[in-house]
Amino acid sequence: MTIQRKCVVMLCMVTALAASSLYADDKVVLKIATVAPARSAWDIELKKVAEEWNRITGGLVTMKIYSMNTLGGEKSGIQKLKAARPGQPAPLDGAIFTTIGMHELVPDAYMYTLTLPFLIQNQTELDKALSVYGNKIESKIKAAGYELIAWSNVGWLSFYTKEPYSTLAELKKIKMSVSGLDSPILSDSFKVSGFNVVDTPTQKFSQMLKSKNGIGGFFAVHLMTYATGFYKDINYALDIKLCPVIAGFVISNASWEKIPKKYHAPLKEAMEKARKRLNDALDSSDADCVQKMEASGVTMIRPPKDELRKWEAEFDGNINDIYKAFPNAFDMEMYKNIQALVAPMRK
């Protein structure tokens, strides 16, 4: 082999090695924490999305999924989205938070507004509200340093108790747990509304729920309550659409920008398809959880319409009290506008 040919072969080898090294550096591993219980519909769909993202990007993007509970809850998840020291990568690239976590992450997005009791009473109304105000909320999330990949309704808020009740006044007397995040606005808002609430550390929640002298109930969605098995420690569940519980999937701007822009739209489209599947199946999923909980001995509380009208009027009055006490808790103007937006849809 001539010297010239050897040089050409060597140059090709160096170029190939350099290209290989460059490709390796371009690979993106996203560490994502989620509040979704293991083996729940959300957990299954997220894992499918992870596979789809890997396929769309030709193996460039890999998603590693972690349970938020094992990390210490949503508050810990928020902390892990930020680097411990300047110049260091953050422990997490993104997360799926509940409304509580989204509010703590981006307070001026006023996510609580969409989940105020009786404001939004079905998926059609929620879709309408998001079509009008979604961009406004998304811009606040972007400005805070995060890309909103998707948000979805993960269920309808329900109260789960050991004791029975037939009126809102009776419900408010039961000692309820606020667990999963140190959220003073959440717990204080319940207190202003007249609820008997106690802040419960995530790691002690199950123990206090089982204890006779612990808590008398909690609030969540049917899917979470059934998937975690917490329904085994309560006797009654409220089965009405009190308000939607919205989950937000965010990735830090820095991590999102590591992915070539040509993939951004296809990746979001894949997540949107999963979100739609979840939303379309939500009612049947809730019905399935209700049936299974009832079969295990849980009694469903379904207040009559005249009683619910009293609840709605009282919650509306509570909202005014909460806003006076915590003017930064939610956007009152948006609340009033959404009321006007959905009113024609109920006629």
- Give the residue-averaged pLDDT of 149-163: 92
- Give the residue-averaged pLDDT of 209-219: 91
Q: What is the pLDDT of residue 7?
A: 43
- Give the residue-averaged pLDDT of 148-155: 91
Adjacent-strand bridge partners of 62: 29
Q: For the segment 266-298, what is each residue's pLDDT rounded down to a tens digit? A: 999 999 999 999 888 888 989 999 999 999 999
Confidence of residue 202 (pLDDT cuts 50, 70, 90): confident
Percentage with pLDDT > 90 across the chain: 61
Q: What is the pLDDT of residue 72?
A: 82
Nearest to 202 by CA among 100, 63, 92, 96: 100
- Give the residue-averaged pLDDT of 28-44: 89
Q: What is the pLDDT of residue 16?
A: 44
In the sheet that holds 158-161, the strands lie side by side as: 196-200, 175-179, 217-220, 158-161, 236-238, 299-301
> Given a cut of 50, is residue 52 above it in pLDDT?
yes
Percentage with pLDDT > 70 across the chain: 91
Which DSSP string do the residues of 60-116 spell out, in sequence order?
SEEEEEEETGGGTSHHHHHHHTS-SSTTSPPS-SEEEE-HHHHHHH-GGG-GGGGGS
| Segment among 43-47, 83-87, 142-146, 270-274 with least mean pLDDT | 83-87
Confidence of residue 183 (pLDDT cuts 50, 70, 90): low
> In this structure, what are the phi and psi dihedrals at residue 148, rounded to the nearest 5 degrees?
-80, 110
> Given a cut of 60, is residue 20 above it in pLDDT?
no
Q: What is the pLDDT of residue 114?
A: 92
- Give the residue-averaged pLDDT of 83-98: 90
Confidence of residue 181 (pLDDT cuts 50, 70, 90): low
CB 77 within 8 A of CB 33: yes
> Given a cut of 60, is residue 11 above it in pLDDT?
no
For the chain, give the mean pLDDT: 88
- Give the residue-averaged pLDDT of 17-34: 68
